Amino acid sequence: METPAALGFSMPAEWEPHEATWLAWPHNPADWPDKLDTIRWVYAEMARKLAPGEIVRMMVRSAAEEQMARRYLQRAGAD
């Protein structure tokens, strides 16, 4: 089996040209004990700051989570 690197794929450094920035919407309370809501606002703010200069793609686990993420992003002005 060929690896992604063998097929010509790589993970560019953040300053290198790239098509988009990918973020995974925070969803697991165990990852962010007592901070999940705050962290969601941080992600919304990151998306807002990045969006004027590049495409931001947000990964979510479900349609319900997508709707929640959209609400945070819209309130942060990142829609």
Residue-level pLDDT at 34: 96
- Which residue, chain included where needed, has tokens 């790239």? 18
Run means of pLDDT, 10 residues per run, the chain, 79 residues? 90 87 95 96 96 95 97 93
Residue-level pLDDT at 69: 97
Residue-level pLDDT at 27: 95
CA distance 75 to 41: 9
Residue-level pLDDT at 72: 97
Q: What sections of the chain are H helices per DSSP?
A: 36-50, 63-75
Residue-level pLDDT at 10: 87
Residue-level pLDDT at 57: 96
Whether the predicted model's global pTM rises above the 0.85 cut: no
What residues does each domain of the chain span?
45-79
